[in-house]
Structure 1
Amino acid sequence: MDISKRLQTVAALASYPVVADIGTDHGYVPIYLHKIGKLKKAFACDVRKGPLEKARENILMHQAQEIIETRLGSGLTTLQPGEVDTAIIAGMGGMLMIRILEDSPAVVSSLKELILAPQHDVDQVRRYLHSIGLIIETELMIKEDGKYYTIMRCIHGEEKYHREIDYLYGKRLLLVKDPLLKELLIAEEGKYLLLEEKLQKSDTESAKERLTQLKEGLALVREALACW
């Protein structure tokens, strides 16, 4: 089955055979897990009827209807506590992910693992995970179609980061000196420097305030780059 590198990476992190794919869209992740023999039971969940109908068609086409069940509804509310071991949430923003987790604390508590691939606000997701007693056990970065994606496997436990850069950029990515993260940081540094040059030409109060904020951000990027 031909699915994106991002979704393959997400699927590869699943360790248990009973899975819920939240925001399943066309059902690609559970179908792929079934195809590679990693699935005993799956729930393909989506809040939108159209994509869920397409997921049903794809499930039938791949003869996986006995293994993969579709459910219409918002986030993890389609599940009962203890019904699945693994929940996968990918393809949406970080703040929406946080709201999904907030809405179903009993289901989150019952999971053995949580696989997340937030498209932005990743630092907020990391902070929230720590606040509800989850450890970011694995963190990976991939690049696809010119975009960078962070993918996390989370399990229950106590963990806190002590540096701001660990929440902003990912402690485990910094520890392993991830080459894609370095590439992203160098690009960020370049953007900061260009903007700094423009702001220095302005004498307005708003420009001065923005310049102060920019320098703080640039300092954090450079602190992160110093890990290499």
Structure 2
Amino acid sequence: MNISTRLFSVANMVDRCKTMADIGTDHGYIPIFLLKNSICEKAIASDINKGPVERAIKNIKEYGLEKKIQCRQGPGLSTLKPHEAQIVVIAGMGGHLIISILEEEEKIAHNLESIILQPVQHSMILRKYLYENGYKIIDEDLCVDEGKYYEIIKVRYDGVKRVLEDIYYEISPFLIEKKHLLLKEYIIKKIQQNDKILVHIDEGTELASDRKRELINRNKKLKELLTCL
């Protein structure tokens, strides 16, 4: 089956396993893709809303996988039993929501072999949370889909809390080390976005002045990273 570049990049992070779970599954495309490509033996497609679950059921039946993929309705990781799945995918959500999902079912999250996260926004906040709350980042990837950049973060809980420089919460050390092909243009886009914000900042208040200094300093750090690529 054909899936989007974003979903393919997420699925590509999933290791071979007996059972994976897709949280916020929407159409069920990731579990279907993984089963069709023999990456996992079974899957759980879960979503908090009825509509996405119904769409997933329809698509799963079309591919004849209803005996291998279970569909469940409920919030976050609450639809899973302890040790039921080895790998979980949480994709297409904001960073804050992903954090709340991990916190609400810590016992489940902490015992997974790996978790594949794909935030649509606030990836810096999510990455900082992961490092500082005992999640080891195993790998990261970056893709462009329909003109938008998406970061994919693969983690495992090991209980070790880590503190990095702020710039490495924004730009993944893994992507820097890999010299990822998309990283240079991704950083340039971030600098341009910051420049647009800077133009419209009125320094009439102390808060605005602080924000301006923050963005100028951030752009300086981003430009320094560019010299390493």
- TM (normalized to structure 1)? 0.91
Separation in structure 1 between the aligned mates of residue 41 and residue 203 of structure 2, nearest angstrom: 64
Specify the alignment match of 1:178 in structure 2: 180
Separation in structure 2 between the aligned mates of residue 54 and residue 94 of structure 1, nearest angstrom: 25
**Correspondence for 1:193 among 167, 177, 195:** 195
Specify the alignment match of 1:14 in structure 2: 14
- Structure 2 alignment gaps of length 5 or more: none
Indicate if the aligned counterparts of 1:22 and 1:44 stay in contact, CA closer than 8 A.
yes
Separation in structure 1 between the aligned mates of residue 174 and residue 98 of structure 2, nearest angstrom: 21
Specify the alignment match of 1:204 in structure 2: 204
Which letter does structure 1 place at the counterpart of 2:178? Answer: V
Greater alpha carbon shift after TM alignment, 120-129 vs 39-48: 120-129
- Structure 1 alignment gaps of length 5 or more: none
Indicate if the aligned counterparts of 2:87 and 2:113 stay in contact, CA closer than 8 A.
yes
Which letter does structure 1 place at the counterpart of 2:148? Answer: K
Moved over 4 A (4+): none
- SS of the residue 1:166 aligns to: helix
- SS of the residue 1:98 aligns to: helix
Which letter does structure 2 place at the counterpart of 1:12? Answer: N
* Distance apart, 1:194 and its partner CA: 4.5
Indicate if the aligned counterparts of 1:139 and 1:151 stay in contact, CA closer than 8 A.
yes
Indicate if the aligned counterparts of 2:22 and 2:30 stay in contact, CA closer than 8 A.
yes
Specify the alignment match of 2:166 in structure 1: 164
Separation in structure 2 between the aligned mates of residue 95 and residue 37 of structure 1, nearest angstrom: 32
1:81 partnered with 2:82: yes
Separation in structure 2 between the aligned mates of residue 9 and residue 79 of structure 1, nearest angstrom: 24
Specify the alignment match of 2:149 in structure 1: 148
Separation in structure 2 between the aligned mates of residue 154 and residue 161 of structure 1, nearest angstrom: 16
Residue by residue, what CA displacement relative to the aligned partner does 1:65-98 show, whole Å, maximum 9, x if unpaired? 1100001000000011111000100011111000
- SS of the residue 1:102 aligns to: helix
Separation in structure 2 between the aligned mates of residue 203 and residue 41 of structure 1, nearest angstrom: 56
Alignment of 1:1-228 (within 5 A): 1-15=1-15, 16-157=17-158, 158=160, 160-197=162-199, 199=201, 204-205=204-205, 208-228=209-229
Separation in structure 2 between the aligned mates of residue 208 and residue 162 of structure 1, nearest angstrom: 25
Which letter does structure 2 place at the counterpart of 1:186? Answer: I
Greater alpha carbon shift after TM alignment, 66-75 vs 158-167: 158-167
Greater alpha carbon shift after TM alignment, 36-45 vs 67-76: 36-45
* Distance apart, 1:148 and its partner CA: 0.4
Separation in structure 1 between the aligned mates of residue 209 and residue 75 of structure 2, nearest angstrom: 44
Indicate if the aligned counterparts of 1:142 and 1:180 stay in contact, CA closer than 8 A.
yes
Separation in structure 2 between the aligned mates of residue 34 and residue 111 of structure 1, nearest angstrom: 19
- SS of the residue 2:121 aligns to: coil
- TM (normalized to structure 2)? 0.91
Change (3 A) 1:210 1:110: closer
* Distance apart, 1:155 and its partner CA: 2.0
Separation in structure 2 between the aligned mates of residue 161 and residue 49 of structure 1, nearest angstrom: 40
Separation in structure 2 between the aligned mates of residue 198 and residue 73 of structure 1, nearest angstrom: 43
Change (3 A) 1:92 1:41: same
* Distance apart, 1:156 and its partner CA: 3.2
